[in-house]
Structure 1
Amino acid sequence: MNDWTDIVKHITDTTGQPFEPKKITAIGGGCINQAFCVADDKRCFFVKINHADSLPMFEAEAAGLNEIGQTNTLRIPQPICWNRNAHAAWLVLEYLDLNSRGTGNVNELAARLAAMHRVQMQQFGWIRDNTIGSTPQINIQNSDWASFWRTHRLGYQLKLAKQNGHHGTLQNLGARLLEDCDYFFAGYTPVPSLLHGDLWSGNFSYDNAGRPVVFDPAVYYGDREADIAMTELFGGFSGQFYSAYRHEYPLDSGYNIRKILYNLYHILNHLNLFGGGYRHQAEQMMGCLLAEIR
């Protein structure tokens, strides 16, 4: 999008301060949106841009950031404004100068995440749907966690996989797993905790004071183990983080098998988004889970 007129006017109108950018710098690293640092002599904003029909995705992201921000636990980039015109949708966020080395206070990250997980609601899900990556994430509220996970997480991703042409073994294993999903929650009663929802190593960093910052959330209320499980995917967090988190908020002994169930959701989502070897990985995970039931 070459015409920034509407975005600049929106920033001016929302903040009540004139904004005339002198520098617009593209930022790489994302695979869904275009991202830019937009600055004048005094202020700097982080701007995400996508197709005009992406506005609901940006609205949900802003709501998710605000949901986390109002807990005063983990720092987030404050949402400024979001809108669309005939050509594009955009989300304007506070620009945070993050530590380029990605280093900071790991113990504080663990403590603040544990504090966020202690923010709880009556039901699982959320007041609105959002996205996980660019995939719709259904958050219809439910008082039964196993039912929520079976229907709105694994079941939904398996349905998408079928629509995307992934049949055969994947669907057969998936059907068996959905049927026996309750097995993994026998004797375990999670509470609806506030989750980041997409907490892998690419969605957190530290500011230049070493304080942890999270972004790109897929917020909902669910079992906190789902957040911790996600941290173990795609590189994982440090051992010090897990030790510090368990010290703050100990995990149930069944976590080591349930984390496979929770991460299966993300692997199926990657299969639906990117294809490739994720199908084999998903089938291996389902086989591992089913082996626990036999």
Structure 2
Amino acid sequence: MGAVPHGQPTAADGPLDAAARFITARALRHRPLSGAVGAVDLDDGRTVVVKWGDGPDAVRAEAAGLRWLARAGAVPVPAVHGHDEHWLIMDPVPDGRPTKQGAVRLGRELAALHAAGAPAFGAPPPGGPREASIGRAPMRNVPGDDWPTWYAEHRVLPYLRTAVDDGTLRPREAAELERLCARLPGLAGPAEPPARLHGDLWNGNVLWDADGRAWLIDPAAHGGHRETDLAMLHLFGCPDLDRVLDGYQEEAPLADGWRERTGLHQLFPLLVHAVLFGRPYADQALAVARAAG
């Protein structure tokens, strides 16, 4: 599906051209939705979503991530029709609203998604690139054997260094976070196998269909610790989060102390946001380090 049937595309290709390369029905019209995302109406009555990517690695990573999550047969994700180096073509998610029952179901399905596993911490989805992204920020998928070491080396410290270089964090403040990274093996809780993570599970990437069931979009999928997805849901909010967690715990109880570890798992997204958006997120990361003692 990743090959281009009619020759290599160019950046000048529009969304109708992109849809035509992967859909047998004729593309009739394009409707912008938000940012780089639009809807293309087809002559057979269907609609597909067309998304412009920030380079071939970003498009390939998202397509591979969606397919990897779909193979778990757990939380629904949009079906991918195809992609090239600029465009990703996928199904839309039906519009709806969250429900309390849907929140519990999301928790159960997230547990099943995580249980599908990954080859290693940091492992990319099959066919996905090593150099991926989370939102507009780079994210390197480098496999590791134990979560605390991998998380510090490939998630926290690279963004910590960038935040210092940009002047968002002072060197003495960065030292506090470096000391926390050194202590992670004793703070991370019991060892767990690598989970299949969505990887960017904030509220905006959880959509609800007409039946109140949650769908996941825009993954930064990789192998990681299952508490990381849950910590990001907590960081940026999710409807009926307590019910989501109840459903999760019914299917796959979390290890004792997971609530106290939430901040550790939030360090990566906080530092990503500090680099992208500035000091307030750096302050939150520092608060995590100081709360850890």
Aligned to 1:11: 19
SS at match of 2:84: strand
In structure 2, the CA distance between the partners of 1:7 and 1:34, relative to structure 1 (3 Å rule), is: closer
CA distance in 2, matches of 1:232, 1:109: 14
Q: Which moved more, 1:37-46 or 1:221-230?
A: 37-46
Query: Does structure 1 retain, via aligned residues, the 8 Å contact 2:98–2:239?
Result: no
Aligned to 2:91: 94
In structure 2, the CA distance between the partners of 1:236 and 1:212, relative to structure 1 (3 Å rule), is: closer
Query: Does structure 2 retain, via aligned residues, the 8 Å contact 1:169–1:283?
Result: no
Q: Which runs of 5+ in 2 are unaligned?
A: 1-10
Q: Which runs of 5+ in 1 are unaligned?
A: none
TM score, norm. by length of structure 2: 0.86
Give the counterpart letter for 1:19 in structure 2: R
TM score, norm. by length of structure 1: 0.86
Deviations 1:154-185, CA, capped at 9 Å, x for gaps: 11211221232232343121221122221213
Mapping of residues 53-68 of structure 1, within 5 Å: 54-68=55-69
Aligned to 2:176: 173
SS at match of 1:250: coil
Query: Does structure 2 retain, via aligned residues, the 8 Å contact 1:65–1:77?
Result: yes
Aligned to 1:216: 218
In structure 2, the CA distance between the partners of 1:167 and 1:92, relative to structure 1 (3 Å rule), is: same
Give the counterpart letter for 1:137 in structure 2: M
Aligned to 2:107: 110
Deviations 1:197-227, CA, capped at 9 Å, x for gaps: 1112111122113322111111111111111
Deviations 1:258-292, CA, capped at 9 Å, x for gaps: 21101011111101111141121111111112x1x
C-alpha deviation, 1:5, in angstroms: 4.9
Aligned to 2:286: 283
CA distance in 2, matches of 1:265, 1:110: 22
Between 1 and 2, higher relative CO (CA 8 Å, sep ≥ 6) is seen in 2
Give the counterpart letter for 1:138 in structure 2: R
SS at match of 1:125: coil
Mapping of residues 86-235 of structure 1, within 5 Å: 89-99=86-96, 101-103=97-99, 105-127=102-124, 128-129=129-130, 130-165=132-167, 166-185=169-188, 188-235=190-237
Deviations 1:213-245, CA, capped at 9 Å, x for gaps: 111111111111111111101224422111121
CA distance in 2, matches of 1:223, 1:266: 14
Deviations 1:87-129, CA, capped at 9 Å, x for gaps: xx22222122221x33462222111111111112342111343
CA distance in 2, matches of 1:161, 1:47: 33
Query: Does structure 2 retain, via aligned residues, the 8 Å contact 1:158–1:171?
Result: yes
Pairwise CA RMSD of aligned residues? 2.0
Give the counterpart letter for 1:271 in structure 2: A
Give the counterpart letter for 2:120 in structure 1: Q
The answer to whether residue 27 in structure 2 is matched with residue 20 in structure 1 is yes
2:49 to 46, 49, 53: 46
SS at match of 1:232: helix
**Percent of aligned positions that are identical:** 28
Deviations 1:26-68, CA, capped at 9 Å, x for gaps: 223xxxx5211121342211122255xx221111011000000
